[in-house]
Amino acid sequence: MSASRTMAAGLYTDKNVKEKPAVSRNRAVLYEKRLNSRSVIPELQLHEAGQYTREGLKITRKDSIVRLNRFYALAERMVQYRVSFSADAKASFRSSEGDFNAFVDVANKKIAIGTNPVTEQSVPFLKENRDYLVEVYHIYQQAKLRIVDLASGEAAEISAINDGSGGAGKGVLQPGFSVGMQWDYYCFGIAGGTSMLVKQIKVFALKKKVKVLIYGDSITQPEGYFPTKDFPLAWTQQIINRLGGNAISSGRGGGRIDMVLNYIKNELPFIKTKYVMVTIGTNGGNTEANLSELVSYIKSQGAIPILNNIPSNESGTQKENNRIIENVRAKFGINGCKFDLATSVKGDGQEVDKTTMYWEDYAKSYGWQIYHHPNEKGGTKMFEQTLVDIPEIYQ
């Protein structure tokens, strides 16, 4: 497996895996629940996968999953489970959309991420009826699975990098390596064996205080399609790097404003931030009413909204969308970045400059030619536009 596509896997002793206190203190707890028969947890959808006991949620039904009904899209997050396993258990920790799968295989003493080929690591210390922490990280293009024996302190982890293909069809730049973005809800279950006992679930943002939170659709989730070698030139990454890491993005490919209105409420209240930047509308769905609702919600959380124009695209839909966005900015007296100017031929927001976008060729399937995901050139031009239009975020 290419070293550029996967990161090192390994076994560690307790002294090597303990995090520095400052790192732990910087996390924000987004969700935390102990699981047992003494409490009702309606947001955990069991789907007949198991039942509550005094010790925890015992999962026994194979090929059925429990879903935590909390939508998360933060690009720096982690879910942590406190669990024990039967001797023959193969536990699955996955995303609701199935784009990401991770496994703890007690019978074969290994952990794995379901890439092609599989990313896996032997874990000799795996045993039945011992308490472990299982942690699944999503950090932009990196996915990491980590397991810690709470009694001995032994730990193991594996990591894989999502290396995007750039465009599609004739526009593909490279084959890529798919790991997944962990869309949208955390799920877990038994893929084989007898049982797994889940005692606690926690969800963390890996930073609890940032200057800027960046929300949007796939344009704000370039980690899904950017080749890894070019990823530092994605517009979100250039903003984050300019801020010295003092920002997080939270984009969801295919997202519309109703989706952002859903998941922002599971993230923003727990993270202290000065600015919340939103770039939404390329997939349709924007109205003055729902944009106003989003701006009002951000203000209610004590943050300053920044509502950006969407970039230019092959269909020209940015023109009407940005008219609505500009009306909402004027209504609330807020600022925003004119990404349509940065990505248009004449710098006027009218016709997309195709050289700033990945070419997505769907002629043989949908009959479409798409130019609306900014490439490294578009990312740089968008970043440079922020220096002109919203310099306050860097001050």
Asked if the structure places residue 52 within a domain, the reply is: yes
Asked which of 183, 205, 227 is the last residue of a domain, the reply is: 205
Asked if the structure places residue 110 within a domain, the reply is: yes
Q: For residue 336, what are its two tokens? A: 């925003």
Asked which of 189, 205, 221 is the last residue of a domain, the reply is: 205
Q: Which residues contact 292 (CB under 8 A, 6 or more apart)?
A: 328, 331, 332
**304-343, pLDDT tens digit by residue?**
999 999 999 999 999 999 999 999 999 999 999 999 999 9
Domain membership of residue 378 as a residue range:
209-394
User: In this structure, are residues 50 and 187 in contact, taking their beta carbons and an 8 Å threshold?
Assistant: no
What is the pLDDT confidence band of residue 63, given thresholds at 50, 70 and 90?
A: confident
| Confidence check: pLDDT of 11 > 70 | no
Q: For residue 184, say if its preceding peptide bond is cis, omega within 30 degrees of 0.
A: yes
- What separation in angstroms does the CA of 91 have from each of 55, 116, 129, 193? 18, 19, 14, 8
**347-359, pLDDT tens digit by residue?**
999 999 999 999 9
Asked if the structure places residue 106 within a domain, the reply is: yes
| Confidence check: pLDDT of 384 > 50 | yes
The predicted pLDDT at position 15 comes to 31
- What separation in angstroms does the CA of 150 have from each of 9, 27, 90? 20, 20, 19
The predicted pLDDT at position 25 comes to 76
What integer is the mean pLDDT of 187-192?
Answer: 98
| Confidence check: pLDDT of 375 > 60 | yes
What integer is the mean pLDDT of 158-178?
Answer: 97
Q: CB 11: neighbour CB atoms within 10 A? A: 15
Average pLDDT for the chain: 94
The shares of helix, strand and coil residues in the chain, as percent rounded to the nearest 5, are 25, 35, 40
**Of 120 and 23, more confident:** 120
**What total number of domains does the chain contain?**
2
| Confidence check: pLDDT of 251 > 90 | yes
Are 215 and 193 within one domain?
Answer: no
Are 215 and 107 within one domain?
Answer: no
Are 166 and 53 within one domain?
Answer: yes
Asked which of 205, 224, 248 is the last residue of a domain, the reply is: 205
Are 136 and 269 within one domain?
Answer: no
Q: What is the CATH number for 218?
A: 3.40.50.1110
What is the pLDDT confidence band of residue 175, given thresholds at 50, 70 and 90?
A: very high
What is the pLDDT confidence band of residue 23, given thresholds at 50, 70 and 90?
A: very low
The predicted pLDDT at position 299 comes to 99
The predicted pLDDT at position 24 comes to 62
Supply the DSSP string of 116-175, one letter for each residue.
SSPEEEE-TT--TT--EEEEEEEETTEEEEEEEETTT--EEEEEEE-B--BSBGGGB-S-
